[in-house]
Chains A and B, each alone.
Chain A
Amino acid sequence: MSSDTYKVTPEKALSTVPGKISGRTLLACWIAIAIGAVGFFWTAGSHPTRAWQVIWSNFLFWTSLAEAGVIFGAVLHTAKGHWGKRFRRIAEGMGAFLPASLVLLVLMLLFGATHIFPWIGPMGPHRGHVNHTWLTRSGVFWRNTILALVLYVASFAFLRMSLRPDAPMVAERLTGWRRGLVKWIGRHWRGDEAEVEHATSNLARFGPILILLWAVIFTLMAIDLIMSLVPGFISIIWGAYFFVGGWLSMLALTAVLANRYHRRYDLSDAWGKWEFHDLGKLMFAFTIFWTYFWWSQFLVIWYGNLSRETIYFEQRVAGHWYGLYAVQMVLCFALPFVLLLGRKPKMRSGWLAFVGCITLLGFWLERFLEVVPATWHGTGIPLGWTELAISVGFIGLFGLCYSLFSSTFPKLPIRETLPGRAHHGP
């Protein structure tokens, strides 16, 4: 079990702030983004649905993961989970993707909606079992844009509160716009004990509100952006199934990133085998939990055998999609379950990162299969160079956003490395 005291010094934590993105990383991100852009525009002219559907699935994958990163911090503050505070910054950094997510959402709903939503177009109004009062083009656009904006603003407010106690110390190491931004985050911060206590209690109060917003808003977005792709399909668990999947993806990416930084900055004093064991247990538990949600949905639909429900699974387990769907279940459940079963493997950061990669690949496929079987009406499975290129573009975009955060903020919460603050946040 993890010890309750940090062994790292504030200086060591501050040394994880490079102050700029390395040239190699920056180049790699921009090349990846360029590949994605070329892949999209190359295909969008001749097969717009093919281009937009992979944008759609990547958007869902990266957005659900990024928001869950911020929620990880909120959950730790709310539940006073001391063990996870060391991984908090790693997860919170994923929130840097949210502004890009908002821009993408607006573009998707403005230019991609007609290629994706089956209830738009000449046949749209005549489809049965569709609530045409709820599902209108303008309604979906404004609703989702406003909801996403509210959630992302709240998430950034939370991030600011979480980063504030470290900001004055971090700002000293930075230059240019980074210094200005971090100074703004930490302005008027005195750093005395009373203020720290006050900030901790504010975070613990704001945490539950943010979690509630996440659950409600992501439920509505999952219904609009995924469930409505299969006209008539209903499943009450859908929203929860969506955001629990995002949460598990976030844990997987946290394991991957923690392994990387652990090696790069020699952070074994902060992230020892017991910390990775705890993270591994959480990944294992949520692998089972997500599968439980999947099973709760599948079993009831299979048993009830109502056509408006079975249509979702029929699209995915019939014909050529079946193999891919089986692979997705192996990647999301079977392999992580087996690989995380033992105690010792969970203590090894490299192993955890390996399992994290499997889970991430599984959930990328899961989001792909949530969207594409419903929108694709061509032959075969549209999984080729176009999909690969656009997905690489998303990796580049997410990587760029994350690098902006990780080059500006430390990988560990510094306040908690100060003597006497082992048990306290923020």
Chain B
Amino acid sequence: MADHWDTEERGLTLADANRDIMRPIMVSSWRYWTLLAFVFALVVWGCIAWAWQIDQGLGVAGYSHPVMWAVYITSFVFWVGIAHSGTLISAILYLFRSGWRTTINRASEAMTIFAVMTAGLFPLIHLGRTWYFYWLIPYPSERFIWPNFKSPLVWDVFAVGTYFTISLLFWYTGMIPDLAAIRDRLRGWKSKVYGLFSVGWQGTVREWSHYRRAYLYMAAIATPLVLSVHSVVSWDFAMGIVPGWHSTIFAPYFVAGAIFSGMAMVITILVPMRWAFGLEDYITDYHLDNMSKLILLTSLIVAYSYAAEYFITYYSADPTEQASLFFRAHGSFQGPFWVMTFCNVIVPATLWFKKVRRSASAAFVVSIFVNIGMFYERYVIIVSSLAHEYEPYSWGFYRPSWVEISIIVGSFAWFFFWFLLFTKALPTISIAEVKEHLAHQGAHEHG
């Protein structure tokens, strides 16, 4: 088994790269449109549920005192986490000169954009009176009603907004040479549209030089955002003194968890994609192996954080903290807790074995478990902590309503809807970087 992406062995040429990667854009299939229609129907269903909630009020959600943050906030945190891997793969691995990112960065970046778009919906849904969303934004106000800058919720607006902007620009910058390549293969209005977005790219030496520099600087700017955005999200909870929330490890723990879930989602998406578009020569077992290793590493960090949290709670001799974490593992929410532990700690441990890491189907199954586990992790942190605070008279229970479940399902469909559109409109693998790799390997092989 190769420990690198051997294009020579696979007989890939520059012409193959153009043809194979652009195939989904050039060729249509009824299966694609059927899948798109199904996903769209789920989005519509989610919208109907949301409209019902707006009309009837937040009472139709399953909120019951004291659990007033539940699956909507869980989903917000989950999707922001999913958004992490794109920037990690694009920016950080680029700075680390990890060549294996070449064929997976484009899809991961797209996933980042769509995940942030999905995450951004949930604060709006959770507001109830959605039309007042702009109160969170520090716009010049004649009435001098400014948001509270000490509130982590306002920090979220800045952190997620910045992350979305940079991720979008980074994604777009990386795509310019590919958009030009598509422009050159198309005719008519489509060629004009792609030409507009490729900003007159001709591929001259000067353009490439500027492009490389711009990409490097954007990678450097995007890298701190990987740490900042989920740290800020974690502080939504850690700043409060709710038992189970107030934790100094939350920032790095949330970042590691975000990379963990994000990498898992990349595998969840890439494995069916490479099968559907016949991209096995581009997204190889070697790539899966590296992604799986990152999942294993972040799983260990997450497991360390779980253990540290429980140990320090024991060490603290604080009865409130101890009761909260005991409740988490043995109380009304023990089911989600053990699902979380199983999916995030036990299942990823199978990735210690090379055979599992290099098997597309096994890595796909593990990634599904991790996605489930990470959704449950956010649910456990948010809901079980709120349900069991300081005073026994204020303890409570929460169960999501059909409206919430419909909106959650709709949000997943919303994410996949955008991703499906992306696979049809834009190259899912960076043609320019693949060609660069082919040229580099060719030069290396032939001295």
Contact = CB atoms under 8 A, between A and B. Distances in A.
A336 B247 CA distance: 29
B239 A240 contact: no
A202 interface: no
Interface stretch (A13-21, A253-261, A297-305): A297-305
Interface stretch (B75-83, B249-257, B338-346): B249-257
A239 interface: yes
Given A1-B97, A236-B308, A292-B227, A297 B314 contact: no
A216 B301 CA distance: 11
Contact of B304 (A215, A297, A304): A215
B65 to A, nearest CB: 23
A234 B320 CA distance: 14
Contact of A296 (B231, B240, B241, B246): B231
Contacts of B309: 236
Interface in A278-304: 288, 292-293, 296-297, 299-301, 303-304
A187 to B, nearest CB: 30
A212 B238 CA distance: 26
A129 B227 CA distance: 33
Given A131-B317, A235-B248, A300 B239 contact: yes
Nearest to A128: B317
Interface residues of A, number: 30
B312 A296 contact: no
B252 A240 contact: yes
B304 A300 contact: no
A122 B250 CA distance: 37
A237 B251 CA distance: 10
Interface of A, helix, strand, loop or mixed by DSSP: helix
B30 interface: no
B72 interface: no
B246 A306 contact: yes
B239 A129 contact: no
B315 A304 contact: no
A299 B241 CA distance: 13
B97 to A, nearest CB: 7
A130 interface: yes
A219 interface: yes
A98 to B, nearest CB: 23
A129 B316 contact: yes
Nearest to A228: B315
Nearest to B307: A216
Contacts of A293: 252
B318 interface: yes
Interface string B206-233: 0000000000000000001001000100
B252 A300 contact: no
Given A134-B315, A293-B252, A300-B247, A219 B308 contact: yes
A223 interface: yes
B235 interface: yes
Given A299-B235, A304-B239, A130 B317 contact: yes
A119 to B, nearest CB: 11
A236 B249 contact: yes
A219 B311 CA distance: 11
Contact of B247 (A236, A239, A308): A236
Interface in A171-188: none
B168 interface: no
B304 A237 contact: no
Interface string A24-64: 00000000000000000000000000000000000000000
A224 to B, nearest CB: 10
* Interface hub of B97, B249, B252 (most chain A Cβ within 10 A): B249
A306 B97 CA distance: 44
Contacts of B317: 129-132
A26 B20 CA distance: 66
Given A129-B316, A131-B314, A239 B251 contact: no
A308 B247 CA distance: 13
Contacts of A296: 231, 248-252
B318 A129 contact: yes
B68 interface: no
Contact of A212 (B300, B305, B314): B300
B307 to A, nearest CB: 8
B314 A304 contact: no
Interface in B306-364: 308-309, 312, 314-318
Nearest to B238: A300
A225 to B, nearest CB: 13
A321 to B, nearest CB: 21
Interface of B: 97, 224, 227, 231, 235, 238-241, 246-252, 300, 304-305, 308-309, 312, 314-318
Given A238-B248, A288-B224, A297-B248, 14 more contacts: A130-B317, A212-B300, A215-B304, A219-B304, A223-B315, A234-B312, A236-B247, A236-B308, A237-B252, A238-B312, A292-B251, A296-B249, A301-B248, A303-B235
14 contacts: A1-B97, A129-B318, A219-B308, A236-B312, A240-B252, A240-B304, A240-B308, A292-B227, A292-B251, A292-B252, A293-B252, A300-B251, A301-B248, A306-B241
Q: Which 3 A-B pairs have the closest CB atoms?
A: A296-B251, A236-B249, A237-B249
